[in-house]
Amino acid sequence: MDPLTHALIGATIGELSPKRIKNRRVKGAIAGMIPDLFNLLTYFYLGIRAGHSIPIAKPEDYYSNTWIIDHWTWMPWEITHSFLFWALIVVPIIFYFKQPLLIAIAYLSHLILDLPSHTGIWSSKPFYPFNYQFEGWFDAWAWDFETIISVATIPLVLWLICAYLRENDYWFLRWPSEQNFGHAHKKSPSIQE
């Protein structure tokens, strides 16, 4: 999937998280993109090898340079897109540093969205370092800008709907800590002598 869609899905997860979490939307958006951020080295390396003046690889560079999946710069993508890495490294770090669970969920959303959106040799290896590949149905990472923007409107609209519902305090999107049960505890008057 493309980074914009990952960020918007992460922001929606943040929107649906408890309101007490500071910067919950930003945390969700960043966590939704983090697995791809570790692959920037490959983008720059392949962009340089392809001879671009701005050394960032384009989708066609990947298709014409399939050797890149055997290059060491590709390994961070495999590692950060593994459910094993998520379960054994990411989640324990989040708990250790007492970060909100929304970060783990937004990160996981990235892994799940990438399963159907990578095909052929670019398919996800959800249990890396084990060599099992999940064959997706399309290559969203290779879409042009216009397609990315048009597809990203779906999670954007979803986020806006959730934001509206959360802002207007709809009961079905309230967390237990946000519930107002109408029981105002009155202080009993003190006895004065």
CB-based contact 167:19 (threshold 8 Å): no
Q: Could you count the other beta carbons within 10 Å of the beta carbon of residue 165?
A: 16
Cα distances (angstroms) measured from residue 21 to each of 26, 52, 98, 180 = 11, 42, 12, 18
User: What pLDDT, in 10s, does the model give residues 121-131?
Assistant: 999 999 999 99
Map tokens 């934001």 to a residue: 163
Does the structure show a pLDDT above 90 at 171? no
* Helix %, strand %, coil % of the chain (to 5): 60, 0, 35
The mean pLDDT value for 166-182 works out to: 79
* Position 73, amino acid: T
Here the tokens at position 30 are 């960043």
Eight-class DSSP state of 124:
B
The model's pTM: 0.87
Q: What pLDDT, on a 0 to 100 scale, did the predictor assign at position 173?
A: 82
User: What pLDDT, in 10s, does the model give residues 61-114?
Assistant: 999 999 999 999 999 999 999 999 999 999 999 999 999 999 999 999 999 999
Quote the crossing angle between the two packed helices 24-37 and 3-15, to the nearest 10°: 150
Share of the chain above pLDDT 90, in %: 75
What are the extents of the domains in the chain? 3-37+82-174
Q: What is the mean pLDDT of the chain?
A: 90
